[in-house]
Amino acid sequence: MRLRTRAREPQLRDRLVWQAASLLLAYPDEQRDARLDTVERLLAHLDGTVAELLGRTTAALRATDVLTAAAEYVETFDMRRRSTMYLTYWTAGDTRNRGREMLAFASAYRDAGVEPPKNEAPDHLPVVLEFAATVDPEAGRRLLSEHRVPIDVLLRALRDAHSPYEHVIAAVCETLPPVTDQDVRRAHRLAQQGPPAEAVGLQPFTLTVPPKRTDGM
């Protein structure tokens, strides 16, 4: 992606935000500091609200050692249903519907000429953000916009938890259409009811954002 001194064009700005957000939302493994270095280089081409928000999350992660960050990541995104980053978890009421919705993500990736990642579900927010940033911005924006309500629910959950990841999700929201009153009501209803209890995955593009490790650090 060719960068200018500052990303003045909205689409370029959004792609930089999406790439930085994808890296910041990755599971903190031994490559965490290298990803933060990349985010800081991206921030040099951003300004305004999005730069300030992404910078706050970056600074918070820099101030936390990797082992602590990994434990906090699991506590935030795996142990609290409201802060799941699997977008279809909020929008499908049963396993069949959720599988169909995840297939829509996988189909969007294949239509853009890439395969879905093999080690992560196609609806995982960091995956969608990286796809939007590096493969097909328009298709990626559509997927993000169609799931604006789940992203807003995630933002509210992170704010309630005083999580440093709140700021990166807020930056992503800056790139999407504003929520409507209907969206607000729907987000509130989802937050109250919680996502579906069922969990379905598809076996899914070679991804720079690593999947979360399950064997510990």
- Please name every residue paired with 124 in a beta bridge, in sequence order, or none if there are none: 86
> In the chain, pLDDT over 70 holds for what percent of residues?
77
Flag whether 156 is in a domain.
yes
Q: What is the pLDDT of residue 179?
A: 73
The b/e string for 34-64 (b: 16+ C-beta within 10 A; e otherwise) is: ebbeebeebbebbeeebbebbbbbbebbeeb
Domain hosting residue 151, numbered range? 8-193
CATH number at 185 reads: 1.10.3480
Q: What is the C-alpha to C-alpha distance for residues 142 and 136, in angstroms, rounded to an integer?
A: 10
Q: What is the pLDDT of residue 208?
A: 56
Enter the pTM of the model.
Answer: 0.82
Give the max Cα distance, the chain.
47
Could you read off the pLDDT of 47-86 as tens digits, one per residue?
Answer: 999 999 999 999 999 999 999 999 999 999 988 878 889 9
Contact 201, 102 (CB under 8 A): yes
Flag whether 3 is in a domain.
no
Flag whether 87 is in a domain.
yes
pLDDT tier at 217, thresholds 50, 70, 90: very low
Phi/psi for 151 (5° steps) reads -65, -40
Q: What is the pLDDT of residue 80?
A: 80
Flag whether 203 is in a domain.
no
Flag whether 215 is in a domain.
no
Flag whether 162 is in a domain.
yes
Q: What is the C-alpha to C-alpha distance for residues 108 and 123, in angstroms, rounded to an integer?
A: 11
- Number of structural domains (the chain) is 1
Flag whether 105 is in a domain.
yes
Q: Of the given ranges (46-60, 88-102, 194-208), which has the lowest mean pLDDT?
A: 194-208
Rg (CA), the chain: 16
**Which of the two residues, 94 and 24, has the higher pLDDT score?**
24
Contact 61, 24 (CB under 8 A): yes
Flag whether 200 is in a domain.
no
